[in-house]
Structures are given as C-alpha cells and as structure tokens.
Amino acid sequence: MPRRPRPGPVTATAQAPAPAAELQRVARTEGLVPALGLLLEAHGAALPLGPTGHALLPERDAAPDPVRRYPLPGGAVVLVHDPRAVRDGARAVDQAALLRLRLGLLQGLRDDCVAHLAERASGESTVLLQQLVKGQLAEALGHQLELAALLDATAPRELTGPVLRDLHSQVTAVGRVLLRLLGAHGFLADGPGATAHVSELLADVYLHAEEAR
C-alpha cells in the first residue's frame, strides 16, 4: 500500500466538518451521482474545474456536448471541458470534500464486496467466510478507518502536494484491492468497477499538475 502521509500538528478537538461527513455518508449509501451533486452545490454557481479545464458532472447538469459519458448505477456522469478555464483560471475544487466523497465511495465498495461474497457459495460455506478473504476485507476496513482519521486530523490548508497525492493514492489502492476480491463482477460496465474508475478519474481531473505527478 502507498506510504501514509504524516498530518501536520492539530488540536485534540479537530474534527471533519459536518457537511463533509454528510458527503461521505451520501457517497457510501446513495452513490456517486447524489454525492457529486452535493459537492457541486457547495461551490455555488461557479463550477469547479480542474487545472486543465475539465470537470465531472451528473449528466442532468451538463451541457449537451460532453467529452465522455459514464453510465453508473444510480445515474450517469459526464466529463466536460472548458478551454477558457485554462486561460482565465479554474476555480479549485474543495479537496477535503473530494477526498470525503471518494472515501464514501470506497466504503460503499467494501459494503458491496461483503454483500456479494456472502452470496457466493464455497463448499458448505460462502466465499465471505474464507480466511484469506476475511483478512483482506479486514485490512481494507483498517485502511478506510485510518484514512478517515487522517482526514479528521489534517487541516484543509495542508491538503496540498505530497499529502494530497498520497491520500488520493491510498483511496485508489484500497479500491483496487476490493475490486480484485469481486472478480469479474467488479469489472462489469454498470457495476462497482465503473464507479471505482470514475472515482479515480475525479482525482485525476482535480489534482493540480504538480500534485498529479
């Protein structure tokens, strides 16, 4: 797994803001489209665009000529591009909120794993109860809890450079471990793999060039 970043000094009472916690919950229980809608609402009328002028939007909120469309459970999202943003300057997305969204999706992916593997027979038991599978799921849960704790303890101003890149990398790495547990089911076009792919794309779109390296 990627090296865990060391958060800067914080007070003992540092907590994630309630809107970020709600964003994480919605991403976990309702999926990407509702959570992405909340993220965009938090930015008001100004659309947050990545450093290359790209953004990911629920299809219902997009212009009729998107660059690419991603059909997902619960609704489609589209990749849009505004070249003027590169020249005029893009409004940065709230990285703390974006990480909470991705963490919520990661938690939802683990929930999907548990439900799917509990239904798959293996001898007289299920795949979920296999020792190796239980160990991998427990490790994934541990990483999720650690990521949540790191976000709780990291001030928004510290979410730049290596810290930001490492946190996004950890979310991606844990997601890929969970997808492998799902086997072919994890890579169906309308399944959890598609949502995990778009989650990775969110990081690519909104990381600044120096942070994406």
More confident residue, 184 or 86: 184
**Segment among 12-21, 72-81, 82-91 with least mean pLDDT:** 12-21
pLDDT in tens, 43-81: 775 678 888 888 899 998 777 788 999 999 888 999 998
pLDDT at site 84: 77
Could you give phi then psi for residue 156, rounded to 5 degrees?
-55, -35
pLDDT at site 209: 52
In the block, residue with structure tokens 């650690």 = 146
pLDDT in tens, 114-130: 998 998 888 778 888 88
pLDDT in tens, 150-207: 888 888 788 888 888 899 999 999 999 999 998 887 777 777 889 999 999 999 998 8
Q: Are 72 and 104 in contact (CB under 8 A)?
A: no
**Alpha-carbon distance 57 to 80, whole Å?**
8
pLDDT at site 24: 94
In the block, residue with structure tokens 């290596």 = 162
**Alpha-carbon distance 99 to 146, whole Å?**
13
Quick check: pTM over 0.85?
no
pLDDT at 17 over 70: no
Q: Give kind and range of the element (H or E) at residue 69.
A: strand 68-72
